[in-house]
Structure 1
């Protein structure tokens, strides 16, 4: 649902789809970087609201894990959208509750409504806090290891997927066969259990969608009830209160191992498998298993521990705290869970951050996307922006030759270029502004050329020669390229006045500014380019997201790799060395 909401919003952000006839003139107002980014953020929050009936959780999810640039206007827009989703969803619930929706209202409309499972008062005491802390710590370790395994699997999948469509299909088929073997094979080894209360036709009347599988009447197979149900019903069964004796330890352990392994293996294939819900299901299974192992040492209901297990596993993998806490509270409709869920999330995130980054950050890095973290690395405070600027700098004169523009566009992939006025248009070289690559391509296609190196006359009107949609941001996969521009040799010798099409007030920083300060400015203002200016010459260079990435900085300054400014991580080699030294010291003391 998160991806669905984001995709729908992205379609509106690129002006609809001309291929399918889904476009309107008013959508052109959203074809810019800021509105498109806002729409995708709002759409993802709406998807969370639709999936979990959590409007506030949807807003916080978009704020905590999606948006790198947040402002007050985006808050109320996101909240308005998620509120509308919640109201419309409620209308469908009432409509389909009367049976007028047919199969559409059977089991799939409200995906994860488990609030009815918590009508009983669930109590906890101060003596249960150590158990909650233990759940958070173990969930953090399992979540960090889950992230590590998924990265290794995704690296292998990326190599396979690069070989073509046939290899992608074979990989998806292999994972599907493995999943089917686990789902239909493992329940045969689980024992049959008698129903607490017998229902009609030999079914278990007091249980929610439990499966008989190969069992006799008035019996059920607990492992089949988890594996052969959809994730919605499996989560409901695990979260249900008053079902402490429903599952066997062996069945719960088998389902945990299967869901843990299949969650790692199924993500990354061409078939969409999701990430959020499998993690919730695996965490709930882990919580139930911990409650069973503790037995009488814990007075907590197994359904409550399953919720805490989901929260700890979410905190250990996704590293989200506030949004997950609100989603769980809205999902269960039980405010009594708030203190325990908050404690578990804080512990799991803190412990897991010592091992690796969140699964979202790791996937983004694996794909090579220059996503900037919300904080600056410690070593960035020791560097200035001039230390990471690399050349050569490509810039244009205020009135530039067409042939030179074509040469620069063909030989570089830069998306923006500084415009510098030089004599005779200025007494000394001075920075005029920043021009975008897309705007240069528009000028070349329109052939707004001058025969000599001079500026446009005063009566020149941009509005008379261009329309607003000429400079709109193109949709995904529809970027203009210089290969489509064909000019004659005579046109290549002509000139273009870039002044009317240049952003004359770009963001600039001096080359002595701290790199950490520049990162904060770059991210919080939502920039794509940042000009670096010295005290004398017009421009030193231009910063993009790639220049703030740790890989780029450490590649330019490898001495920082062994410095004290690296973030604390518990690497395997460091942990092993620590324990070896500890054993040696203990042996010497003995």
Structure 2
């Protein structure tokens, strides 16, 4: 209870963005959603300690999602040159002061988080490729691979150092977390039918899981909006419920005699392990307590264990599956750093082993391998990943012989689940209102052109603009980019010069390099600035509008915008299909797309397309008669 309250207090009062797994937020950031709090230093601090407290408190949560978020936060901190607030800065990291390089670094951080959590370096690379990154380049492949290789080397070094119990349970098991050795690498037609059935069940259970998680998250969001105290109270309530299940449900199970010829002690006393006594007579154990009263990792090892058909009763597996399924749903979304991988693996392994026990002699496969296939099917049904999950499971279990069956069950479960809803992370991104752009354009976009969705009054600046006009525009709008128009006497006719960013205008105004005459002073003005003054600011950094102090006489002065204007912005003609514009916007990773007129004799710009203009809610607000699915 104390640990649960501590984790909740950290998330509720210090960094609310640290709650949950963090993977949807990292995925949205890598898609171009620039939310500073997602990767702030305070979020990193709370994510680390909140995750430790949450797992130690006994919640049905995993550490894998929080570790992905932690890796991304560390990468972001490095990419912005450290933290000025905490006086941790490194000038040599200014190389990363742009969007693309910072995204690459955060992608490497997310891959490192998966590699560290699962001890799966190749799986980390594929996770970043398949799930996290929206833009992938060949150079990013070897960078993520190098990052995860370093993670594997460091992990191995710590494990060697921690052998013999120096660091508790950390040094045990090596890089293979759940070693599964199939007794028979062969399988028959009934086995294939069982695998197909597992895939279908995983798809159904997975889609239902995602649906219920979405409903619970929407309910929790209403509760959480009422203040941090209610967040903490909700966490305490879920903690009490989890404790009641963990300590109450084992009373429903009966005592089982310890198997003969065991190498390990039975029942296990004073440590984690396979067999828990729980009020049983000597040489007996409680199989349900052996799942509930172990660490999550040991519970998975118990379910994956081979050569032990009668270790768990059918009723035990049913009760454990129902409890984990229910607790996993209601726990995700409370104000505690929590991952989905472990609850999903536990639930899937439970019904997988249950099916293996039911088949008995009809199947050549071991019940432990059925548990692995069940975990794979549930992972595929909830997260909708295939290649990365397959490799992660192989690196987790060291069972390469059953690769075809793991591939088959993942493909089937994903296909079945896709018939009902989207993956859990995609649903959370949508539920949180993050403007995530899909890889493909929506069908209804084919019926619109770029100029149809341009909204809001267009604010433009002249190449040499009055200071007062710039300051007024910055105050009355929240735009982050403004078109710059050259007008006579700087051009024969009005023409589009380019795009200037709000952050650059703030730096320019704060520097007060103004002129009293409306003339171009670019070279002289820029000599007073340094290149890194205009670099992308990190979390909580950069010049703010409140920092600008312009005197009355300076309002009538002029400033030359040409030196800070991007003179080659991406532009599309106003009659371009909105679907094509959306694909271009996402594939290139843009924040602004300028729309220009098709015919001469008109103003040189029609408007600006931003991420908001491609969102379904905006388009259907303008054209409510459109069917979003056609």
TM-score by length of 2: 0.85
**Residue pair 2:119, 2:177 contacting (<8 A) in 1 also:** no
Residue 9 of structure 2 corresponds to none
Aligned residue among 251, 268, 278 for 2:316: 251
**Residue pair 2:180, 2:399 contacting (<8 A) in 1 also:** no
Aligned residue among 592, 596, 603 for 1:533: 596
**Deviation of the 1:73 alpha carbon:** 0.9
- Mean alpha-carbon deviation: is it higher for 496-505 or for 466-475? 466-475
Residue 450 of structure 2 corresponds to 385
Cα 1:465/1:288, change in 2 over 3 Å? same
After superposition, the C-alpha distances for 1:230-257 in whole angstroms (9 at most, x for unaligned) are 1111111111111221111111111111
Residue 425 of structure 1 corresponds to 490
CA distance in 1, matches of 2:622, 2:359: 52
After superposition, the C-alpha distances for 1:365-409 in whole angstroms (9 at most, x for unaligned) are 122111111122222223222222213222211111111111211
- Mean alpha-carbon deviation: is it higher for 470-479 or for 51-60? 470-479
Aligned residue among 470, 495, 506 for 1:405: 470
**Deviation of the 1:177 alpha carbon:** 0.9
CA distance in 1, matches of 2:169, 2:502: 52
Query: What SS does the corresponding residue of 2:282 show, helix, strand or coil?
Result: coil
**Deviation of the 1:448 alpha carbon:** 1.6
**Deviation of the 1:132 alpha carbon:** 1.1
Residue 383 of structure 2 corresponds to 318
After superposition, the C-alpha distances for 1:442-489 in whole angstroms (9 at most, x for unaligned) are 0111112121222116x5151x31123312222223354312212112
- Mean alpha-carbon deviation: is it higher for 165-174 or for 280-289? 280-289
CA distance in 1, matches of 2:344, 2:541: 35
Residue 439 of structure 1 corresponds to 504
**Deviation of the 1:296 alpha carbon:** 4.4
**Residue pair 1:399, 1:496 contacting (<8 A) in 2 also:** yes
**Deviation of the 1:94 alpha carbon:** 2.5
**Residue pair 1:195, 1:220 contacting (<8 A) in 2 also:** yes
Cα 1:267/1:477, change in 2 over 3 Å? farther
| Aligned residues: CA RMSD | 2.1
What are the residue-to-residue correspondences of 1:28-427 with 2, within 5 Å? 28-97=94-163, 99=164, 102=166, 104-107=167-170, 113-118=176-181, 120-197=183-260, 203=267, 208-427=273-492
**Deviation of the 1:277 alpha carbon:** 2.0
Cα 1:550/1:112, change in 2 over 3 Å? farther
Query: What SS does the corresponding residue of 2:277 show, helix, strand or coil?
Result: coil
What are the residue-to-residue correspondences of 1:9-20 with 2, within 5 Å? 9-20=75-86
CA distance in 1, matches of 2:245, 2:542: 45
What are the residue-to-residue correspondences of 1:449-468 with 2, within 5 Å? 449-456=514-521, 459-460=523-524, 462=526, 464-468=527-531
CA distance in 2, matches of 1:493, 1:461: 18
**Residue pair 1:383, 1:515 contacting (<8 A) in 2 also:** yes
Structure 1: gaps spanning 5 or more residues: 567-590
CA distance in 2, matches of 1:280, 1:286: 10
Residue 498 of structure 1 corresponds to 561
Structure 2: gaps spanning 5 or more residues: 1-66
After superposition, the C-alpha distances for 1:166-186 in whole angstroms (9 at most, x for unaligned) are 111111111111111111111
**Deviation of the 1:433 alpha carbon:** 0.7
- Higher RCO (Cα < 8 Å, 6 or more apart): 2
CA distance in 2, matches of 1:40, 1:261: 33
**Deviation of the 1:554 alpha carbon:** 2.4
**Residue pair 1:51, 1:111 contacting (<8 A) in 2 also:** no
Cα 1:213/1:524, change in 2 over 3 Å? same
Residue 538 of structure 2 corresponds to 475
**Residue pair 2:273, 2:294 contacting (<8 A) in 1 also:** no
**Residue pair 2:348, 2:378 contacting (<8 A) in 1 also:** yes
**How many residues in Structure 1 have an aligned counterpart in Structure 2?**
558
CA distance in 2, matches of 1:283, 1:94: 32
CA distance in 2, matches of 1:200, 1:379: 63
**Residue pair 2:182, 2:365 contacting (<8 A) in 1 also:** no
**Residue pair 1:112, 1:232 contacting (<8 A) in 2 also:** no
Cα 1:289/1:161, change in 2 over 3 Å? same
